[in-house]
Amino acid sequence: MDKLSLLVIPGSVRQGSLNCTLARAAMRIAEAQGAATRLLDLRALELPLYDGDIEAKQGVPAGAVELIEAIMQADAVLVVTPEYNGFPTPLVINAFDWLSRAPAAASRPAGLQATANKPLGLLSASPGALGGLRAMNYLRQYFQMAFGMLAHPRQFALSRANEAFDAEGKLKDDKARQQVEAVVQSLLQLAGAVKTKA
Residues that bind ligand FMN (CB under 6 A): 12, 14, 17-19, 82-86, 126-128, 130, 132
Q: How far is the CB of 59 from ligand FMN (least distance, A)?
A: 31
CB of 20 to ligand FMN, least distance (A): 6
Provide, rounded to whole angstroms, the least separation between the CB of residue 130 and ligand FMN: 5
User: 79 or 190, CB closer to ligand FMN?
Assistant: 79
Cβ neighbours around 148 below 10 Å, total: 14
Of 118 and 140, CB closest to ligand FMN: 140
Q: Which of 162/178 has CB closer to ligand FMN?
A: 162
Whichever of 72 and 130 has its CB closer to ligand FMN, that residue is 130
Task: Compute the least distance from the CB of residue 125 to ligand FMN, in Å.
Answer: 6
